[in-house]
Amino acid sequence: MGKTDTEKTYTETQVQHLIAEAIRLANSPQTPTHIHTCDSGSLDPAERHSWPCTSPYCEDVSTVVRRCVEHGGRKPRLKGDPPDTGA
């Protein structure tokens, strides 16, 4: 049986990429967009830990230390949340 015009051949790498992307999209509400560093309220760098964040509004996550919610940080804003008024 020959290939039709709508059939396409994929390499193993392309298939693995398609599978990984499908899994990422299927789990996107739970999958972190990026990783923050929390200082845990301590000045000791050894007390820092990473925490996942799904907010599309964060900037400079690799350089700015931001406390996680468990250590008194603000809850990340998600799409559909009301705008931050600074209040």
Residue 57 lies in a domain: yes
| 31 lies in some domain | no
Residues spanned by the domain of 53: 38-73
pLDDT tens, position by position, 7-64: 888 888 888 888 777 776 666 665 557 888 888 877 787 788 888 887 877 776 667 7
Separation between Cα atoms, residue 44 and residue 54, nearest integer Å:
26
State the pLDDT at residue 43. 77
> Of 39, 20, 36, 40, whose CA–CA distance to 28 is shortest?
20
Q: Structure pTM? A: 0.47
pLDDT at 84 (0 to 100): 67
The pLDDT of residue 29 is 62
* pLDDT at position 28: 64
Structural domain includes residue 62: yes
